[in-house]
Structure 1
């Protein structure tokens, strides 16, 4: 049987382990580190939460551990239940309880978690990203001098990023797009703060576009352990199917590519700034 692992926060009960009877001696932070080390050998962990027992119970801790893979969670439960996992006394390890009446909303992983999951299953050299367009949609730069001379309220910077995740071993690409708008610093703080905010908006746009691209991919883990990829395009304005459609999206937003074409000198300056931020790196970050 094949298991599907989406780029989403795991919420299913069969991916959740409950660990009881943890001693009160170590701190919660120490138990967190020990549990993460002990359980990560069974598969990639999404989270480990160590919590104190209820006041009516004896002193100690329990833990909630989430795996990305239900198969990994089952293997960990069978191997660790009734054994001294991180202490001399045995612990109880059970799979999460099933609540059929409760349906959890699937939350997308952020870009950092997406990259962690992709590195684990595809390898560090098994995927890359290619930025198709990174464009400022706000007109902050054009109004800097005017705004400093005559403040007219709060300013903001807006960036659009269109990119694609490339999986060469699977002959698969997944496009992603995001628009990020960040409030600019107060004008009296000067252009330095404005430039810093602009760089932050650039970075956030790339991160959100990368997460958006990964949301259309699903990892397929076969019984043999081999990996496949399923591409699931989603309906919506932000889910274009290729570079041409992403260009159409920019044009629909009334920011035509030709309208915002820059001179050769401006283009070199913009690329130099992207290299400084690491945004032109086509291999994995």
Structure 2
């Protein structure tokens, strides 16, 4: 089997998605969810597991959509779990999914905490580290935008963060930039400021972490070994600067205030475009 490339982006490929049905209602919804997590987690890191109730015309029960970061994990889950009872009396039905037509999606940055989970899984807790180089309050520095804003619009609290991720074995260093903002409904309320100030700082750090990891690729081999590649953007100058140069390079107008779109396609909508691989379809069903 060829080595598989894992990127720190939201997995979109259909061959990384596993569809599980024939889930009975003998357990509560919460117990069923955690039973599925326990059953499907051993085959590789999960991006998501979503549990849905059957349609009203079907028997009481559930179906689930499990999304992995690698196609190899999805194949292993199918081979090990299809037609197995696992946590219920009746056997589950498990299939790898495939889209009916080829659809193109832009790569979406993975949430920062998900990047850390993925790095911990493949590199180990001691295989990488992160460091905050800069965390600046840049509220009110975008003068032109502030002047154009309506007087009725609330002031906005903004933070800019620069994070450096280091992969220890390969001595790879990748920097990321993140900007977060939050509306201040009561400008002179210290309680609101303290509450939102901490939240905006955390969002900025998470966005910077996502941006740094997006430039790192993991090459996963069958024997469990992992190689790391650094692939920067063509116009990315952040990694080339010293910390002193970076402090002078940061210009507020170079960054957008729009939130990073880390959301994945809704799994319920995605099911309309999925089918099963022919060689894994249930016999006669």
Confirm or deny that 1:208 pairs with 2:217.
no
Q: Report the alpha carbon displacement of residue 18 of structure 1 after superposing the two structures with TM.
A: 0.9
Match of 1:277 in 2: none
Q: Which residue is 2:230 aligned to?
A: 231
Distance 2:81 2:190 in 1: 57
How far 1:65 sits from its partner (Å)?
0.7
Does 206-215 or 25-34 show the bigger shift? 25-34
Partner of 1:27 in structure 2? 28
Q: Contact conserved, 2:78 with 2:94, CA < 8 A, in 1? A: yes
1:157 has 2:143 as partner: no
Report how far residue 220 of structure 1 moved. Answer: 0.9
Aligned pairs (5 A) from 1:8-157: 8-139=9-140, 154-157=154-157
- Report if the CA contact (8 A) 2:19-2:97 is conserved: yes
Query: Matched residue of 1:212: which SS?
Result: helix
**C-alpha deviation, 1:17, in angstroms:** 0.8
Q: Which residue of 1 aligns with 2:271?
A: none
Name the structure 2 match of 1:260: none
SS in 2 for 1:241: helix
Deviation at 1:195, TM superposition (A): 3.4
Quote the Cα distance in structure 2 between the aligned partners of 1:129 and 1:13. Answer: 32
CA contact (8 A) 1:185 1:194 kept: no
2:279 alignment counterpart: none
- State TM-score, norm by structure 1: 0.77
Larger Rg: 1
Q: Does 1:176 align with 2:150?
A: no
Alpha-carbon displacement from aligned partner over 1:181-214 (angstroms, at most 9, x marks no partner)? 32224135x2332233223222221111111101
CA distance in 1, matches of 2:77, 2:153: 56
Alpha-carbon offset, residue 37 of structure 1: 0.3
Q: Is the 8 A contact 1:175 1:242 kept in 2?
A: no
Partner of 1:26, secondary structure, is coil
Name stretches of at least 5 consecutive residues in structure 2 with no aligned partner: 142-150, 255-285
CA positional deviation for 1:248 = 5.0
2:113 counterpart SS class: helix
In 2, Cα distance between equivalents of 1:178 and 1:220 = 26
- Counterpart in the other structure of 1:195: 194
Cα distance in 1 between the residues matched to 2:20 and 2:27: 15
> Which of the pair has the greater relative contact order for Cα pairs under 8 Å at 6+ separation?
2
Q: How many Å apart are 1:101 and its aligned residue?
A: 2.7
Asked whether the equivalents of residues 10 and 68 of structure 1 are also in contact (C-alpha less than 8 Å), the reply is: yes
Q: Is the 8 A contact 1:121 1:227 kept in 2?
A: yes
- Residues 19 and 65 of structure 2 are in contact (CA less than 8 Å); yes or no, is this contact kept in structure 1? yes
Q: Tell me, what secondary structure is at the counterpart of 2:175?
A: strand
Q: In 2, distance between residues paired with 1:223 and 1:248? A: 45
TM-superposed CA distance for 1:156, in Å, is: 2.2
Give 2:238's aligned residue.
Answer: 240
Q: Provide the rounded CA distance (Å) in 1 between the counterparts of 2:53 and 2:123.
A: 37
Between the aligned partners of 1:236 and 1:54, the Cα distance in structure 2 is: 49
**Cα distance in 1 between the residues matched to 2:160 and 2:54:** 47
What CA deviation, in whole Å up to 9, does each residue of 1:248-284 have, x standing for no partner? Answer: 5315759xxxxxxxxxxxxxxxxxxxxxxxxxxxxxx
**Structure 1: which 5+ residue stretches go unaligned?**
141-150, 255-285
